[in-house]
Structure formats: structure tokens, C-alpha cells
Chain A
Amino acid sequence: MSTSLRFSNVDKTYSRPGGAEDPVLRDFSLEVAPGELVAIVGPSGIGKSTLLHLAAGLEAPDRGSVAIAGARAEPRIGMVFQQARLFDWLNVADNVAVAVNAASANIKRARQMLSAVGLGRHTHSYPLSLSGGQRQRVALARAFAIEPDVVLLDEPFSALDELTARRLRLLLQDLWTEHRPSGLLVTHNTLEAAFLADRVVVLAGKPARIARIVDVHRSRPRQAEDAQFFELHREILATLEHGASW
């Protein structure tokens, strides 16, 4: 895929109850190159999820632009949220198929992706009968089954136990290596950001600005035990702590 995601001079301000203005982003610019996964880290409420909402078209910027430039006239966006956000009344296969149909992608992809995420035997199960990890696998399958140009990940593993989260990070890495969409990963877990991303963007201040961009020079597949990720994790944390004092 040769799709890039670009934020150009974006302003975003929310109106709080009582009329107070809360500027979240001002003159924010960032480009995600084709096939690149950029992680966004920063304190709570700084505007990380706002970036994802802008990229997904759920919100519009007050100023500036968010553009997805690629081969398709209407880019396909896959999104994985903190909660799986599945339709409880549809079985696993239908949850994926409905997104695939909406994207006019090949319906065979739904089953293939479910097998790829290890849920080939659960296609007729309903989300309520699955564990949190399995539901998140379905959400990943849905995001990648549409053959996405862009994948947006909003703290996708933060609600899971560490062992499950670790497995799903490896699964995400495999899916990314195979499909190579462009993407944004919002996370509070700096080690996760270092392990998964090609670049880690550290946000600080109010309105948010880029405090630092950390490049991760490691090809995939990566090993979670690689010492470099722990090194980067410490660097990112130090930047965050420094940013908190601004």
C-alpha cells in the first residue's frame, strides 16, 4: 500500500460545559509515511485520541487539514479501540463480514483474517461468549480484513492482562508486516510504543505539541526482549517527565 496520512497545521478546540474553551491542538503537523506505524504517547487528556478521531473522520479540525493520500478515492480505515466495540447480536464471522461488505472488499477475507488471528473455530460464536483477548482479536481481524489503507489503534491492549496483551502485540506485528498499512497507535505504554512503532511521537503541553520524535531503528519481526526497546522506553519516559514539568 502507498497511502500516507498527513495532519497539516491542525487546530482543535473543545467547548466545555459553562462555555470555557479547551484548546487541544494548535498548528499541529505530522506525516505518517506509507506503511509506517507511528505511536503517539503523552499524558491523559493531551489530545492523543483527538488525533485518531480526526484521522477517522469522526471529528473535523477547526483549522488545517487531515488528509489520507493514496491509491483509492475513498480510503479504507480500520480502527481498533480500547474496547472491541463488536455488535453483540452478530456472530464473530458476521461482525467482520459487515465491515468487509461495507468496504466492498473480498468477503473471503473475513474468514481468512479470523483464521489468521486464531479464531477460525469461533466464527459462529457470539462476542459475549468470548474472552476480552478473543474479542480484541476479532476487532483486529475486522480492521485488517477490509484491506485497510490506514489502521488506527486507540489503546488497543490497555484493557487486557499483560500476558494476553503481549500475545496480541506479536499478532499485530505479524499483521502489520504482512499488510503494511499506514497507521497511528495511541498508547500509554511506552514500551509497547517502542516495540510496535517505527516512530514514537511524544506529546506535551497544552495545547499539545510534539516534544520529541523517537525513531525506532529495528526491522520486523522484532523480539519483545530486545534491550533497545527498554532503552527507548526509558528515553520516552524521561521526555514525558520532562514535558510534565513544562
Chain B
Amino acid sequence: MTVLSERDVAGAPRRVVVPLRVAAALLSRALPGVLFCVLVVAGWHVMAVRWHSPLIPDIDAIGAAVAGIVTSGDAAMQIGTTLGRIVLGLLLAFVVALIVGLASARNRFARAFFEPALLLGLTVPGLVWALLCVIWFGLSLKTSVIAIALGIAPALAVNLAQGLEAVDPQLIETAHVYRLRFWQRLRVLWLPAILPFLMAGMRLAFSLAWKVVVLVEVFGLSTGVGYALNSAFISQDVAAVLAWTLVFALVVAAIEYGLFQVVERRLTQWKRKALV
């Protein structure tokens, strides 16, 4: 609920709540997206009725499949497993990217040294890492974690290096003159300066990570969303494939809106305050 501030006759600040205006603003913001979803569902329904094929299950069948995997707890378990792998892969990738990104930003030789690896890493499809890791490491947790790390570390490292290079050298000088200690520099200079690049890198990494992990689970694991999708594929259960895709997409969207955007808003709230 937005609270507007205005001054009363005496000049003292007075808070005015305007829920209707807020509701209207929210509705106008959400309307295009909602309209798109309604059209997709309606179009799908028309196709399902028109062709009446098991390859195009109707909305009721998809809804029943979604309800089935959610109420049975299967969705929570498999998605939880997949997300756990993603988090571990992200952590490993972040450590690697931090080392490579820092070295690349601070040292010309290191930048040239890592450049071919980053270029290769950015161009190799996640599918290749998934296949290679299944071959190398077999059916284990490290397969998915290493495949994710290999798939996303280059993008993360490039973003971090760009962020570090973008830090204003005049502010670095200022921190030096005022003898800011290491932790102070990290807190008031480096982290805030690289934050936009870090957030962009994390979002990109997350979107790449879940594609890689699903592939690994399809090829070589017996748990996770990829495994569930593969099981549905083998039994030609299109409704189940769509149900798993829908539920997982909703979870990914919830993480984007409920985590990344919230964290970003919190960390950049100074901009809104500065521009008021």
C-alpha cells in the first residue's frame, strides 16, 4: 500500500492512504501479463477441443496433473532437490567467478590468461557440460553441482570483472586518502559499486543453472525435476510434462520476484530516497 505524504494547513506532514489508487496502479501493471496468460490458456483450450489428441491434453487434464504432483508432495520434494543442487552449483560458481573476476579486473596478464577460458565457457552449451559431467562423475550430487558451476561461472566471472572495472577510480583514491580499512572499503565502496553487475550476473546464472541441472537430471539422476520430466516423457504423459514445467516455472518466477527483485529493491533503496 503506497502512502503519500503531504502537508496540512499548519505545515506539518500528514499521511494520506490511497488504497484505491494503489489497486488501480497494480491492476494496470498486472493487466497485460494476465491478459497474455488468459489468451494462452484460451488458445490451448481451443486447440485441445479442436484436435482432441492425447498430445494436446485439455486444461482440465493439465490442472489435474498439477494438482496431483502438488498435493502428493512430489513437486515439493523434486523441486526442492533441484533447487538444492542449483544453490550448491551457484555457490561453487560464485567462488570460482570471484577469483577469476577479481584477477581479470586487477591484472592485465590474468585477464588475457582467462580470456580463452571465459570465451569457451560462454559459448559451450549447457547440454555439453551436462553430458560430460554425467560421463565423468556418474550418478552423484557432484555431477549436477559441477555441471552447473561450469555452465554459469564464465557469465558470472565476466559480470563481476565488469563490475570491478566500473568502480570509480576517484572513489578508490578517496578511500585511500582517508585510509579506509579493508572491510570499510568492501562495505562502502566495492560491494555497492559492483552490486548492479552482481545482481545481473546472479539472475543470468540462475536462469542458466536451472536449465543445466534439469539436463543433468534427465541424463543421469534419479531425483529432481529433470528426472520427473523424463519419467513423464518416457510414458508419453504430456499433461504431466506440462504440469512439471508449469510448477517449476512458477517456482522460478517466485524466486525472481520474491527474492532477486526484493533484494535488489532493498539494496538500491538509496536511489529512490536520493531522487525524492
Residues of A within 8 A of B (CB): 56-58, 74, 77-79, 81, 83, 85, 87-91, 94, 98-99, 101-103, 125-129, 142, 146, 152
Q: Are B174 and A85 in contact (CB under 8 A)?
A: yes
In chain B, what residue has the closest Cβ to A124?
A: B273
Whether A89 contacts B170 in the complex (CB less than 8 A), given A57-B176, A101-B184, A103-B179, comes out as no
**Distance of A81 Cα from B173 Cα, bound (Å):** 11
Contacts of A94 in B (CB 8 A): 188
**Distance of A125 Cα from B275 Cα, bound (Å):** 10
Q: Are A58 and B270 in contact (CB under 8 A)?
A: no
**Distance of A4 Cα from B245 Cα, bound (Å):** 72
Contacts of A58 in B (CB 8 A): 173, 176-177
Q: Are A79 and B273 in contact (CB under 8 A)?
A: no
Q: Are B170 and A102 in contact (CB under 8 A)?
A: no
Whether A56 contacts B177 in the complex (CB less than 8 A), given A90-B188, A98-B188, comes out as yes
Whether A89 contacts B178 in the complex (CB less than 8 A), given A58-B173, A83-B170, A101-B184, comes out as no
Q: Are B274 and A129 in contact (CB under 8 A)?
A: yes
In chain A, what residue has the closest Cβ to B170?
A: A85
Residue from the list A56, A81, A126, A152 in contact with B270, Cβ < 8 A = A126
Contacts of B273 in A (CB 8 A): 126, 129
**Distance of A142 Cα from B270 Cα, bound (Å):** 20
* Candidate in B178, B181, B188, B276 with the most chain A CB atoms within 10 angstroms: B178
In chain A, what residue has the closest Cβ to B173?
A: A58
Whether A88 contacts B270 in the complex (CB less than 8 A), given A81-B170, A101-B184, comes out as yes
Q: Are B275 and A79 in contact (CB under 8 A)?
A: no
Q: Are B180 and A98 in contact (CB under 8 A)?
A: yes
B189 within 8 Å of A (CB atoms): yes
Q: Are A146 and B178 in contact (CB under 8 A)?
A: yes
Contacts of B188 in A (CB 8 A): 87, 89-90, 94, 98
Q: What 1/0 flags go to B227-258 for Cβ under 8 Å of A?
A: 00000000000000000000000000000000
Name B157-182 residues within 8 Å CB distance of A: 170-171, 173-174, 176-181
**Distance of A74 Cα from B189 Cα, bound (Å):** 23
In chain A, what residue has the closest Cβ to B267?
A: A89
Whether A57 contacts B180 in the complex (CB less than 8 A), given A89-B192, A128-B275, A129-B275, comes out as no
Q: A57-B177, A127-B274, A152-B177 are in contact. List 4 more A-B contacts (CB 8 A).
A: A74-B179, A79-B174, A98-B178, A126-B270
Contacts of A127 in B (CB 8 A): 274
Q: Are A87 and B171 in contact (CB under 8 A)?
A: yes
Contacts of B174 in A (CB 8 A): 79, 81, 85
Chain A nearest CB: distance from B135 CB in Å? 47
Whether A98 contacts B184 in the complex (CB less than 8 A), given A87-B192, A88-B270, A126-B273, comes out as yes
Contacts of A90 in B (CB 8 A): 188, 270
20 sampled A-B residue pairs with Cβ under 8 A: A56-B176, A57-B176, A57-B177, A58-B173, A58-B176, A74-B179, A77-B179, A81-B170, A87-B188, A88-B270, A90-B270, A98-B188, A101-B184, A102-B180, A102-B184, A103-B178, A126-B270, A126-B274, A128-B274, A146-B178
* Candidate in A56, A87, A94 with the most chain B CB atoms within 10 angstroms: A87
**Distance of A83 Cα from B173 Cα, bound (Å):** 13
Q: Are A102 and B181 in contact (CB under 8 A)?
A: yes
Name B46-74 residues within 8 Å CB distance of A: none
Q: Are B177 and A77 in contact (CB under 8 A)?
A: yes
**Distance of A89 Cα from B181 Cα, bound (Å):** 18
Chain A nearest CB: distance from B170 CB in Å? 5
**Distance of A142 Cα from B178 Cα, bound (Å):** 9
Chain B nearest CB: distance from A105 CB in Å? 11
Chain A nearest CB: distance from B199 CB in Å? 14
Q: Are A85 and B171 in contact (CB under 8 A)?
A: yes
Q: Are B276 and A129 in contact (CB under 8 A)?
A: yes
In chain B, what residue has the closest Cβ to A152?
A: B177
